[in-house]
Amino acid sequence: MTASPVVDIALFAAKLGMVFFVILTLAAYLVFAERRLLARIQDRRGPNRVGPAGLLQPLADLIKLLTKEDFIPAAADRWLFLLAPAMAAVPAILTFAVIPFGAPVTIAGHEVPLLIVDLNVGLLFFLALSSIAVYGVAIGGWASNSKYSLLGGIRGLAQLISYELSMGLSLVPVVMLARSFSLTAIVDAQRAIPFIVYQPLAFIIFLISITAECKRIPFDIPEAEGELVAGFHTEYSGMRFGLFFVGEYINIIVLGGLAATFFLGGWHGPFLPPLVWFTLKTLAFAFFFIWTRGTLPRLRYDQLMHLGWKVLTPLALLNILVTGWWLALTS
């Protein structure tokens, strides 16, 4: 069979476009789903006026954000201010490049792997990008030249160093079990039994850490609307605020997908097609995040530090030791 690069490139571009479209649409509808679910938790109905059952609400929100004034404070650091929202949203969507979201399919004689790039250091790529994502928060907070934004940015950075370590360490046992940094290999290693069975502790640590990573409610201290107005995005308006917002929800989808990949066996699952399994698992995590938001109050700044440094990190280290010991015994 002769490989024709044109078809390959076309398929790749189509895949890229699909992923972009699906992720952005899903993020927009996740906002809607969150508003509806939170409303139900609070015995309300939520937005149900725009379109049938409120399904066109994301579109209305988009139009509203796009037509609003794009305000830049007079004392702001102009270029950093304009750059920061993109720096928050782009790493989130880039991370999805390494997530395998389905079994490879064959289209017109070409085998198409259902992921964008199969990096052999996919896991490190994710850790690197999640560290970069906080620059959007920090720079946005700095460039706004407002005390609330600055405090939000500082909190974002302080939060990063407290959970990033435990997040990275909680993934080490996954790598030890799969013997690879590639996410495809990690998914393949869970063909029979997902890693959550072997690593429940690592799963819980990872779940808590990704909640902090996407700045969701028990750990939303960079935003903390009760204390800091809106934290790092206080001074943002219009679509720049929208980018921060959408970035947060893309982050939820991507981190949910990663949690599914690392611990729940990715797209593996009985009866249903792989793509459906992956979507279900990802959305289950999204639902869990929304549920958490409706349940838990915000932690204090020092409580997060305490949790990250004194509880999660030692536990993750212990988990690595036990896993290594167990692997040495069984091999």
Binding site for another protein (CB under 8 A): 37, 39-45, 291-292, 294-296
Residues with Cβ within 8 Å of residue 198, at least 6 apart in sequence: 173, 177, 323
Structure tokens given for 92: 């989130």
Indicate the residue among 45 and 147 with the shorter CB distance to another protein. 45
Indicate the residue among 238 and 294 with the shorter CB distance to another protein. 294
> CA gyration radius for the chain?
20
Minimum separation from the CB atom of position 41 to another protein (A): 5
Give the whole-angstrom CA distance, residue 241 versus residue 156: 17
Indicate the residue among 120 and 295 with the shorter CB distance to another protein. 295
Beta bridge partners of 112: 105
Minimum separation from the CB atom of position 129 to another protein (A): 30
Structure tokens given for 209: 């850490």
Indicate the residue among 246 and 307 with the shorter CB distance to another protein. 307
Indicate the residue among 39 and 158 with the shorter CB distance to another protein. 39
Minimum separation from the CB atom of position 199 to another protein (A): 19
Minimum separation from the CB atom of position 42 to another protein (A): 7
Give the whole-angstrom CA distance, residue 315 versus residue 323: 12
Indicate the residue among 269 and 294 with the shorter CB distance to another protein. 294
266: left (phi over 0), alpha (psi -120 to 50) or beta: left
- Go through 303-330 and write b for each residue having 16 or more CB atoms within 10 A of its CB, e for each that does not: ebbebbeeebbebbeebbeebeeeeeee
Three-state DSSP class for 117?
A: coil
Give the whole-angstrom CA distance, residue 154 versus residue 267: 37
Minimum separation from the CB atom of position 257 to another protein (A): 23
Indicate the residue among 66 and 296 with the shorter CB distance to another protein. 296
Q: How far is CA 80 from the centre of its chain?
A: 23
Minimum separation from the CB atom of position 158 to another protein (A): 24
Please name the amino acid found at residue 112.
V
Minimum separation from the CB atom of position 217 to another protein (A): 12
Indicate the residue among 296 and 321 with the shorter CB distance to another protein. 296
Closest CA to 277 of 266, 262, 263, 289: 266
Contact 138, 156 (CB under 8 A): yes
Minimum separation from the CB atom of position 24 to another protein (A): 27
